[in-house]
Structure 1
Amino acid sequence: MKLRLLAVAAVVALQLSAQTDAAKPARVLLQSGVYQLTEVNLGVLSKPLPGESRQRVVRVFAFARPLTELEWANWSARGAVNHGYLPLNAYLVEIPVNATQAWSYAAQLPLRGAAPFTGAMKLSSTLATGSFPDYAWVGSEVELVVVPLATSSSAALSANLDRIGTVVATAAHGISVRINPSDLQRIAALPEVQFVQPKEAPGEPENLTGTKNHRATAIRVPFPGGRNYRGTGVVVGHGDDGDIEPHVDFKGRITANLSGPSQGDHGDHVAGTIMGAGNIDPDGEGQAPGASLVYYSYPGNLNSVDAHYTTYGVRVTASSYSNGCNAGYTSFTQQMDQDIVQNYHLMHVFSAGNNGTANCNYGAGSGWGNITGGHKQAKNVITVANVQANDAIANSSSRGPAHDGRIKPDVSALGTNVYSCVSPNAYGFKTGTSMACPGTAGVLAQLYDAYRQTHSGQDPHGGLMKAILMNTADDLGQNGPDFIYGYGRLNALRAARAIEQNHFVRDTLTQGGTDTIRISIPSGQQVLRVMLHWTDPAAT
């Protein structure tokens, strides 16, 4: 008998079967929304619309499946330019109007639908809502970043932008322009444009950015009536590089220090990211400033967890250490899986590693299958990738899959330029999945606190917390879970709401049995994400 945990969040698309999708209109998922692609008449698609170039047009094509390399080679040889993949088997393609062979070849492909690349499709999610962030305003104007198509001339686009607003800078990532907000659609309608977003947010210390990125501050607001999930009373077992120095941010919350002599300030920085109070510098506050720590020299937190789960009440562990690259399912891996099975409320959190470009003999070449450890590849634990403040993956962050092909990492968190505690009573920046792991452990401490506050002081099942964390994450990279970001970047606010609203179902099922779970969908919701999760027995 296995415990099934159904975590539900009505926020992103349910993965449907290919048979079901085939019966529906083709669609493409963009930042600005979901668009149905209904046109299949290539004669209509090849004709320029008002405002488009008379020589070349850009279209969104959706197919029944991803195109093969050979199909792309043949289409490109006939004049088609691939500007990139879009979710649900779609591509952004530029074709000369008079390239008869390119249009004819498109008819031979498994086309399900297509559409012109409209101005609305080019907007970021923020701009698509008609809002502009505070930092984008410059007087009565807003500053945008306009990304040109790869085949467009930046000089020509800059000239067109200057006719609408004022170009203030040109960089590799795009052209910065200040405009009257009412001119946004004119900018997006320019045929040379691929994407439009607000200017980048101003820089700030990255641990402050980290708590915002993970939505951790949204669930511990210092105002009456707000959520107050600070991780208070939740104990994290943190294994690192020897003794941590006294720091005012840790005062009164180191339950036990079981470490050897200090080997540096790595452990101080990681501890601060988990539970630093930000007493000297509020920007250095950790994810769960109310949590407590049992501190070890690594791997004491893992080897002692069976005993200290009871002795100290350890519920979450944090380990930012490797034990071999793509080591496979080792005995240590087996121990990690057994820990979660045997200790109902426990969850282990690991860094994915910093071998993102390495070849660790997975079989797919450099850049894949380089998770740094066997223990991190356990089925029941959480392994964390390192994203930057803009949600782009750090080049050094280790990629999956696990040795046996399973998805790893599980989630992503900020691990680049994280601002946290260093001794003595100071703060500094560090980068790596070593910093993403404690960010996740701290968020878990907050969510354990949320569960206790909303469920009569009870502790949650560790597997349930993993499921909620993954199922409420903000999907990044390819649509759905992947070997780079896992299930996406943490979203503590969405996870807390799932806990508060009991968006999960506990159930048991015997071998060969069946069961039906009914989910009530609130009116107005258009999409649903469902995860079936269970804590699996350790492998042999």
Structure 2
Amino acid sequence: MLNQSYGQSPEKANMSKENIELLRQLDRQEQARLARVQAYLKKNPKTITSKKDGINFTQIYDIVDGVVLYRSTNNLNAGRATKTSHLQVGGDLELDLDGTGMTVGVWDGGPADLNHPEFQNSDNSGSRINVVDFAMSDDDPGEFSGHATHVSGTIAAKGVFAEAKGMATNINVNSYNWTNDYAEMISAANATIDPIVLSNHSYGVPVSSGGETIPAWYMGAYTQDARNIDQISKNNPKYLIVASAGNSGTTIYTGGMYSGYDKLTTDKNAKNNLVIANASPVLSPFIYDLEAVNINTGSSQGPTDDLRIKPDIAADGTNVKSSVPGGGYAEFSGTSMSAPNTTGTLALLQQYYKQLHGEYMNSSTLRGLVCHTSVDDYATPGPDPKFGWGFLDARASAETILDAQNNTALLDELNLAQGETYTMTFTAQEGDKLKATIAWTDMPGIISNGTLNDPTPRLVNDLDLRLTKDGNTYFPWKLDYSASSGFSNSKGDNTVDNIEIVEIEAPSSGVYTLTVSHKGTLKGNAGDPLDPFFPQTQDFSLIVTGNNITLSTQDNLLSNSLVVYPNPNKGEFTISFDSSVNNSNDIKVDIYDVSGRLVYKNVFVNDSAQFNKTINLNGVASGIYVANISQGNNTSTQKIIIE
């Protein structure tokens, strides 16, 4: 019997009209899917509806072209624990992040063991696991899912057993089975209490199950599942869906784009989610620096049929030690482990960003940030269909967030209007790689009609990123394909990805101009409610890093004249700048420590042409602080070093 427990009811009072309409569409799709499965089972009563093999669990999901599609957890048996130590409590960045105050959603084959010691709160008075769906998808009531418990531990285990410590050791987890997951995701993202901005999905449709391979056109195709993910993301711009790439890496089938590739199925081919490959990093002894990173052979390879760069990134999913039901621990490998490794890490990045900005970053910003800062695989420069953009680097992502606060990098959320071109200038010095990234949450595309390896781009709003200097134009990365030689990459006009990255390996010193434009007419679901493709603006995220970057401040009189002295200092320093006689606004000074905690706040009356105030922070610890100084629309951020 198929389990049809749908979990919590949608909190429609807190939802947009777009989300309510999407729920109606998803309900119709769910009923049609169940009808297809039931009809098939009636004609084929001996069909296996679900099975378990250790921690792995497989369940019948749908019928396509007369072939049974199964959903399966994405595990292989092996083992290694993984940590995001630089950001965690006691880490050398001194951020002390643990996910406090946040809730993450985990959809899986059944409920996680909420009684496990690793999930107890800080004073052991209760569990941080909230089981929303107690029913097991394999009709085994009363049993906790070993897979869901292991995945949840990789995200949230507090470290009772040090080797099984999770990424976000004080985060809350809402645990669901995978039945009716899309509708539940909308509800969780719009919950009145503890809405989620991240969810983990370590399951999918394997290329082959039980000796039967799904139709070849399905691999790499933009299916209804992929479109659903993109629509959910578009309707909920803060919410990022993290998915495992799958474990079909060694599966062989006929009809793929190239041997050893093209094995992503269903929602793994969406545009707006973050799909994670399984890598096995090699760390140097004792100091634990990354020496090499290898892809696990079982990890499913991309790209999509339209040559989008999928998977997006890789993370450590090999030999992960984590919790299992009954208070125990076990080691497993697979993209089921690399995905929660990533999800827990992203929670810490969101926590840090909110400490500094008062709100979470958009999902496109977070997705672009981790792709921008990922470590290349050392083999071939640039993206590829195995690693995506590279191996997750949590420290580099956190440092970019801080560098943006200090005006030595750029991390911004912007908007492009129809027919508009966004332009900015900045200076950079030779030395470190110069890198610029844009990312955006795109409109859902047109689903595949079943054509094998259909290359039609699924991108709706095509933004373009360019860097120029001294008459030279630098283009973003893109994937290339040859039926005879397979996949490679180059730099040129990218017409398929909603992440574009421009890299200059050996930049020369000087002034660079960055432009973001778009092709055609921007489409969206705003404006005329009867026209779902009414022209609208497109939000996008922009990230720029390099050596000694100085952002243009030609329109900011405050930044042009502002000085802080002495710096470094012992806790006492002076802020001075020319206060324009045409700007009568008060001057606001807010100072934060590196973890985002406000340590000083004051508002000064603008009563002279020269602002000159001494700030005393005696009593605070030595370290790096960030001063946000504003007068009306003019703002400046300064790094303060207290010895």
The aligned residue for residue 316 of structure 2 is 414
Q: Displacement of 1:375 after TM fit?
A: 0.7
Change (3 A) 1:235 1:304: same
CA deviation string 1:210-257 (max 9, x = no partner): 21xxxx110113279811121222211101121222201112311343
Change (3 A) 1:349 1:362: farther
**Match of 2:267, as an amino acid?**
H
Q: Displacement of 1:358 after TM fit?
A: 2.3
Q: 1:529 aligns with which of 422, 426, 435?
A: 435
The aligned residue for residue 241 of structure 2 is 348
* 1:39-58 matches, cutoff 5 A: none
Higher relative contact order (CA 8 A, sep 6+): 1
* 8 Å Cα contact 2:220/2:304 also seen in 1: no
* 8 Å Cα contact 1:362/1:368 also seen in 2: no
* 8 Å Cα contact 2:206/2:246 also seen in 1: no
The aligned residue for residue 308 of structure 1 is 188
CA deviation string 1:140-163 (max 9, x = no partner): xxxxxxxxxxxxxxxxxxxxxxxx
Cα separation, 2, equivalents of 1:454 and 1:333: 33
Matched, 1:323 2:191: no
**Match of 1:385, as an amino acid?**
A
Matched, 1:285 2:165: yes
**Match of 2:104, as an amino acid?**
V
Cα separation, 2, equivalents of 1:291 and 1:534: 27
Change (3 A) 1:364 1:428: same
Which has more helix, going by share of residues?
A: 1
Cα separation, 2, equivalents of 1:332 and 1:276: 31
TM-score of the superposed pair, with normalisation by structure 2: 0.49
Q: Identical aligned pairs, as a percentage?
A: 30
* 1:170-209 matches, cutoff 5 A: 206-207=80-81
* 8 Å Cα contact 2:154/2:341 also seen in 1: yes
Cα separation, 1, equivalents of 2:109 and 2:79: 24
In structure 1, the gaps of 5 or more residues are: 1-203
In structure 2, the gaps of 5 or more residues are: 1-77, 121-126, 137-142, 208-218, 283-292, 405-409, 447-643
CA deviation string 1:336-373 (max 9, x = no partner): 001111112100001001111224556334310002x2
The aligned residue for residue 526 of structure 2 is none
* 8 Å Cα contact 2:85/2:91 also seen in 1: no
**Match of 2:361, as an amino acid?**
P
* 8 Å Cα contact 1:302/1:317 also seen in 2: no
Which has more strand, going by share of residues?
A: 2
| Equivalent pairs, count | 327
Q: Displacement of 1:442 after TM fit?
A: 0.6
* 1:497-512 matches, cutoff 5 A: 497-502=399-404, 503-512=410-419
The aligned residue for residue 374 of structure 2 is 473
Change (3 A) 1:512 1:434: same
**Match of 1:206, as an amino acid?**
R
Q: Displacement of 1:507 after TM fit?
A: 2.1
Q: 1:450 aligns with which of 349, 352, 366?
A: 352
Change (3 A) 1:499 1:283: same
Change (3 A) 1:362 1:315: farther
Cα separation, 2, equivalents of 1:524 and 1:346: 37
The aligned residue for residue 98 of structure 2 is 230
Q: Displacement of 1:260 after TM fit?
A: 1.2
CA deviation string 1:24-82 (max 9, x = no partner): xxxxxxxxxxxxxxxxxxxxxxxxxxxxxxxxxxxxxxxxxxxxxxxxxxxxxxxxxxx
Cα separation, 1, equivalents of 2:149 and 2:236: 27
Q: 2:280 aligns with which of 380, 388, 406?
A: 388
1:293 counterpart SS class: strand
Cα separation, 1, equivalents of 2:397 and 2:227: 28
Q: Displacement of 1:315 after TM fit?
A: 0.9
* 8 Å Cα contact 1:275/1:290 also seen in 2: yes
2:337 counterpart SS class: helix
* 8 Å Cα contact 2:243/2:276 also seen in 1: yes
* 8 Å Cα contact 1:407/1:481 also seen in 2: yes
